[in-house]
Chains A and B, each alone.
Chain A
Amino acid sequence: MFEGFDAIFLARLQFAFTVSFHIIFPAFSIGLASYLTVLNGLHLWTGKPVYLSLFDYWKKIFAVAFGMGVVSGITMSYQFGTNWSVFSDKTGPVLGPLMGYEVLTAFFLEAGFLGVMLFGRERVGEKLHFFATAMVGVGTLISATWILAVNSWMHTPAGYSINEVGQFVPEDWWAIVFNPSFPYRLVHMVLAAYLTTAFVVGGVGALHLLRRDIDTPGARTMFSMAMWMATLVAPIQIFAGDLHGLNTLEHQPAKIAAMEGHYDDHPDGAPLILFGLPDDDAETVRYSVEIPKLSSLILTHELDGPLRGLKSWAKDERPPAELIFWTFRVMVAIGFAMLGFGIWSLWARWRGRLYRAPWLHRAAVIMSPMGFVAVLCGWITTEVGRQPYVVYGMLKTAEAASPLAAPAVGTSLMAFIVIYTAVFGAGTYYILRLMNRPAIAIDEPVDSEGPVRAGGIMPGPSHGKDAADHA
């Protein structure tokens, strides 16, 4: 049934599908692991039970998300070999050790201490338990560091030479790891993970604040912490994103041209196209709404700064503008919405109405999944913007694939789609159900066996294993 398809197209589709699923979970678990570390630390420091009950609340959600991240990540690591064997052979000497370091420094750390963090609180005591949580959190950050070094090198390769069999051979590891786009990507991604998680946590807090009957200290703490994160980090993220854009202009100008929708060269100042429909065949943007000179001002910090258009590259050297023009705009719009949210919450906080602002809370619930949308859109923008290359300027995607027949790739793609949809659909459902449960209000540490008081009014369902079924 896949005879009519191109094996490379199917392999790309498979990679895009599996990585899109995968990127969601690390984005969430990076942020959540840090949040759990903070909660655990605050509990250790202040002794306030609210932090411990929040820790227990988010720990279960983390465990489900982390499990999905692990299993989808193992799939990713083997896909390089199964579907992209030429890529593996050629870039293995450079990228393999970086991924090896990711496993050695991050995966084992996370996996080793995850068990202690989830199950071992009674066995190891509070301080070691905090240490275990912190190790899981540090592990997620180290993991992000290595994987973004790998990804950035594919965008801005440096520090290598090419040997007689066509492999990339390392010359300078410092230059490979700290390649020109690495710092920008790393900061942008980690901040994105923090913001994404903050809006999820804030959305859950807001949901429970909206249900006045369970207006609990836990919900307030969640919402307040999340809104501080939005207030402080959203502006930093926009600034970091701008710097990343400048870096991309320097190293991947074709990607910027596609993101901005510039087909023609603008030697004396390019307009900012707010909206429009790019058409790669006709090489024009239809129905465009433009602000003169603004694109140049943003990207070159000069009104008359010159910008190259896509037409200055051969057709088979251009990334597809139709897609990334839009994904880029969606990402930016969500970023500014987050900034606006931070300001709104700051104003509500200043007025003393942070916990009694139903419209803010409703908006926060709607906003809660937007971080994931932004992460996915940002990822599409940068990865599709690298096309037609897999290693920018050096190795084309089409030349990197395994010598596989289309039916093989097609069949495995179908299997991935069916199984991922079922497995991760169920996981998402369980996470949402966990989030739907109240953030328990307690005055003393949670007794995992007995009933807990909800809002000091009545005994609620037990915190134990059957609670999810009652919720």
Chain B
Amino acid sequence: MPEFDLAFIWAGLIAFAVLAYVILDGFDLGVGILFPLFDKGVQRDQAMNSVAPVWDGNETWLVLGGGGLMAVFPLAYATVLPALYAPIIAMLLGLVFRGVAFEYRWRTHRARWIWDWAFFSGSLVAALAQGIALGALVQGIAIENREYVGGWWDWLTPFSMLTGAALAVGYALLGATWLNMKTTDAVRERARSFVWWAMLATLALIGIVSLWTPFIDPLYYERWFTFPTEIFSFLVPAAIVGCVWIMWQGMVRNRDAWPFLSALGIFILCYIGIGISFYPYIVPAALTIEEAAAPEASLEFLLVGAIVLVPMILGYTIYAYWVFRGKVDPESGYH
């Protein structure tokens, strides 16, 4: 066990920021991915209004993840981003498209279909790109002399395609369970039908990814099949089964918040699984947390602020969600 110093605290904070991003923007990207499956007009309006007041805050966690990485692990930032150049650019452009759709959609009648399409395709591209980036990171990145030394197509492999699909489907599950929780009538009914499909597909893809990962790198194999970490090889899947059971119960017993919360649970468990595989690396097999960390003075300076500010941020974020609690009023929105 390495000593518990600032670099590890920061690794934990960055991991938290990325997780917060994944589950928060995950459900609003998921709403975007499912968007074309809802009828034009009221149904789509209602789906979009369920996320309109919060999506911007959700996406801010991505900026914290990226900006924080540059601040506290500059070497990881400077080597991972060039390695994942194409998926990251695709993700950014996808986010541009879907982000503006939230406002533009209401500013035109004739061209609304364009922004509906932009909302869907931007969300899908961003989700796929994030999943592909994750897969490419799991596979490892070639680093020599503080520089990325691989080619610019290295990220494109069958495994990264699979993780891309898995994340997009997982986001769709988050989106469907969110809409089940936040909407009424026809939108809710349709969202419920998506929950079943997305749940099956998500579980199948998680299964394939989980079985494939240990054979990518001896490090992962060791993590999952040797004592003591192999305990998690049983605990994580067992907990996922528990989540699925809660989701199923929530669906059949009409407890609309349960499926969403259990979908969040599944995401958190998968994330923990990735953490178990990675530790203590920040770029697997290339850079450890210690090696990539910024000088102590940088870690310290930002940590002082983070300790005060992150709880405040969580506080007013929860407040903002609280303001818009309950089912979406089909008539609401300022447009």
Contact = CB atoms under 8 A, between A and B. Distances in A.
Question: Do they bind each other?
Answer: yes
Interface of A: 56, 59-60, 63-64, 67-68, 70-75, 77-78, 80-82, 85-86, 88-97, 99-105, 107-116, 118-120, 123-124, 163, 165, 167, 169-171, 173, 402-405, 408, 412, 415-416, 419-420, 423, 426-427, 430, 433-434, 448, 464-466, 468-469
A403 B150 CA distance: 10
B199 interface: no
Given A82-B82, A89-B74, A103-B64, A163 B295 contact: yes
B78 A96 contact: no
B152 interface: yes
Contacts of A464: 335
5 contacts: A64-B104, A81-B69, A82-B85, A107-B63, A113-B316
Contacts of B316: 108-109, 112-113
B96 A103 contact: no
Contact of B62 (A74, A85, A90, A105): A74
Nearest to B297: A170
A27 to B, nearest CB: 18
B71 interface: yes
A96 B74 contact: yes
B146 A170 contact: no
B310 A97 contact: no
B297 to A, nearest CB: 5
Nearest to B148: A403
A70 B99 contact: yes
Contacts of A415: 89, 93
A309 B147 CA distance: 39
B333 to A, nearest CB: 7
Contacts of B297: 93, 169-171, 173
Contact of A115 (B56, B67, B88, B93): B56
Interface centre among A56, A81, A163, A167 (most CB of B within 10 A): A81
B317 interface: yes
B53 to A, nearest CB: 3
B72 A96 contact: yes
Nearest to A408: B152
B163 to A, nearest CB: 20
A25 B23 CA distance: 28
B29 to A, nearest CB: 14
Given A81-B77, A402-B82, A165 B100 contact: no
Contacts of A72: 96
Interface stretch (B32-40, B260-268, B301-309): B301-309
Given A77-B66, A123-B324, 20 more contacts: A63-B103, A78-B81, A78-B92, A81-B82, A88-B77, A92-B70, A92-B77, A93-B74, A96-B68, A99-B71, A108-B313, A112-B320, A114-B56, A115-B53, A118-B334, A119-B52, A404-B85, A408-B86, A469-B108, A469-B109
A31 B146 CA distance: 42
B295 A169 contact: yes
A81 B67 CA distance: 10
A466 B109 contact: yes
B59 interface: yes
B119 interface: no
A469 to B, nearest CB: 4
A351 B115 CA distance: 49
Contacts of A80: 70, 77
Given A70-B56, A404-B82, A85 B148 contact: yes
Contacts of A67: 56, 99-100, 102-103
Nearest to B293: A93
A261 B272 CA distance: 60
Contacts of B113: none
Nearest 4 Cβ contacts at the A-B interface: A92-B74, A96-B71, A81-B81, A115-B53
Contacts of B294: 92-93, 96, 167
B305 A165 contact: no
A465 B67 contact: no
Contacts of B56: 67, 70, 110-111, 114-115
Contacts of B301: 97, 170, 173
Interface in B172-197: none
Contacts of B323: 115-116, 120, 123-124
A175 B221 CA distance: 48
B126 to A, nearest CB: 11
